[in-house]
Amino acid sequence: MTPRLHCSCTLRSVLKNVALDEGLPALACPDCGAVLLKMDDWRRWRSRSPAAVALGVSVAADAVSADPGRARACPACTRLMERLPLDAAGALRLDRCSTCQTVWLDPGEWQALVERGLASQLDAQMSDGGQRRLQAERLHASRIQALRQRHGDACMDEVLRIRRWLAEQPRRDEVLALLQAPEAAAPSQRN
Please report, as ranges, the residues that interact with Zn ion according to CB under 5 A: 7, 9, 29, 31-32, 74, 76-77, 97, 99-100
Write down the least CB distance from residue 44 to Zn ion, Å: 19
Task: Provide DSSP, 51-101.
Answer: GGGGG-----GGGSPPP--PPPBPTTT-PBPEEEESSTTS--EEEEETTTT
CB closer to Zn ion out of 32 and 147: 32
Q: At what angle do helices 128-151 and 153-167 cross, to 10 degrees?
A: 120
CB closer to Zn ion out of 71 and 76: 76
Write down the least CB distance from residue 19 to Zn ion, Å: 18
What strands lie across the sheet with 24-28, from one edge to the other? 16-21, 24-28, 35-38, 102-105, 93-97, 82-85
105 three-state secondary structure: strand
Cβ of 116: how many Cβ atoms within 10 Å? 22
CB closer to Zn ion out of 9 and 144: 9
Write down the least CB distance from residue 24 to Zn ion, Å: 20
Cβ of 47: how many Cβ atoms within 10 Å? 8
CB closer to Zn ion out of 77 and 175: 77
Write down the least CB distance from residue 134 to Zn ion, Å: 23
CB closer to Zn ion out of 30 and 152: 30
Write down the least CB distance from residue 18 to Zn ion, Å: 13
